[in-house]
């Protein structure tokens, strides 16, 4: 296990403000929302959070400075070495992440966010050059119209979960440490619904096949991705995810693209190449030709 000061990139004389600043920098760099499906970034995020939880506590820092990791043994909050997943970190540092990243509740529970979605969209060469508006079909979860995403029948009472007291997390002992995990009763929502919505059966969402308009700007490249913010799936009580549209530009045997330039080739006779004249060329307009002068 690496030295905790080394993890944060600080020396042992660092002030509390210095430690917090160093942790902010690492947390922002390796935050899971910025590095989806990146196990290495998640591990570094956990490592930095473990280090900061110990060093931000004066008592634990003093024992660590004197005895190293041995000084932390026996403490139920031996800080952070007990983090088993990212949600534990969000719960422990809820206010900190709420101030810095947003999207957290004041009680430390991570606000739900809908899943991001991806669709592929084919374009002709001309559409990629000039820009266009296209339609895409997306299967996604949207908020239930009957319960407005609450999962409860309209007018019914929604109670705070008695197990986690509305935090969405519960704490239990694991060896020397206290570990926070998602509440098994409310599944992290912090709420208990007794009279479940009969439309969505308590989910707060329903599946829908949507047709969305995609405005494709001029000059896009093959493989480029457009983001439609908030057009992904909806999560009850939280923000919607995003829709990512991956563009696939068809080739055109008449043209080649060189950054912002469009190139085409024409055959000319030796005489015309030597003396000059006009040649017929293809243009990007459908079934249209133009002329170019050779000098």
E strand map for 189-242 = 191-193, 205-216, 225-228
User: Which structural domain range is residue 285 located in?
Assistant: 264-294
**DSSP result, 32-61:** TTTSTT-HHHHHHHHHHHHHHHHHTSHHHH
Partners of 140 in the beta sheet? 208
User: What per-residue confidence (pLDDT) applies to 132?
Assistant: 93
Comparing 54 with 93, the larger pLDDT belongs to 54
Is 89's pLDDT higher than 90?
A: no
At 277, is the pLDDT very low, low, confident or very high (cuts 50, 70, 90)?
confident
DSSP state of 260: T
The percentage of the chain sitting over the pLDDT mark of 70, rounded to a whole number, equals: 79
User: What per-residue confidence (pLDDT) applies to 293?
Assistant: 65
Is 238's pLDDT higher than 60?
A: yes
Residues 12 and 77 in one domain: yes
Select the highest-mean-pLDDT range: 26-40, 114-128, 227-241.
114-128
Is 163's pLDDT higher than 60?
A: yes
Is 153's pLDDT higher than 80?
A: yes
In a domain, 256, yes or no: no
Residues 124 and 37 in one domain: no
Final residue of a structural domain among 53, 74, 100: 100
Q: What is the CATH number of the domain that holds 92?
A: 1.10.287.110
In a domain, 168, yes or no: no
User: What per-residue confidence (pLDDT) applies to 14?
Assistant: 92
Residues 138 and 22 in one domain: no
């Amino acid at each position: 296990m690496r030295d905790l000061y080394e993890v944060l990139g600080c020396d042992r004389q660092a002030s509390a403000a210095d430690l917090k600043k160093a942790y902010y920098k690492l947390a922002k760099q390796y935050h899971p929302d910025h590095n989806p499906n990146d196990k290495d970034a998640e591990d570094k995020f956990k490592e930095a959070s473990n280090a900061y939880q110990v060093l931000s506590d004066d008592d634990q820092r003093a024992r660590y400075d004197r005895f190293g990791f041995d000084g932390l043994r026996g403490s139920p909050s031996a800080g952070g070495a007990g983090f088993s997943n990212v949600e534990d970190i969000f719960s422990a540092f809820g206010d900190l992440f709420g101030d810095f990243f947003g999207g957290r509740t004041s009680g430390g529970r991570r606000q739900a966010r809908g899943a991001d979605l991806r669709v592929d969209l084919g374009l002709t060469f001309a559409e990629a050059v000039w820009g266009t508006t296209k339609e895409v079909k997306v299967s996604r979860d949207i908020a239930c119209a009957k319960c407005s995403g609450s999962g409860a029948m309209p007018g019914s009472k929604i109670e705070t979960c008695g197990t986690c007291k509305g935090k969405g997390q519960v704490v239990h002992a694991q060896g020397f440490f206290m570990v926070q995990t998602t509440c098994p009763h409310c599944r992290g929502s912090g709420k208990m619904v007794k009279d479940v919505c009969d439309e969505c059966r308590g989910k707060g969402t329903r599946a829908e096949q949507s047709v969305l308009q995609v405005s494709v700007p001029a000059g896009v490249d093959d493989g480029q991705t457009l983001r439609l913010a908030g057009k992904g799936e909806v999560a009850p009580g939280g923000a919607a995810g995003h829709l990512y549209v991956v563009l696939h530009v068809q080739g055109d045997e008449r043209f080649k693209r060189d950054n912002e330039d469009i190139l085409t080739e024409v055959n000319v006779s030796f005489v015309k190449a030597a003396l000059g004249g006009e040649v017929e060329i293809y243009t990007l307009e459908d079934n249209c030709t133009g002329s170019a002068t050779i000098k």
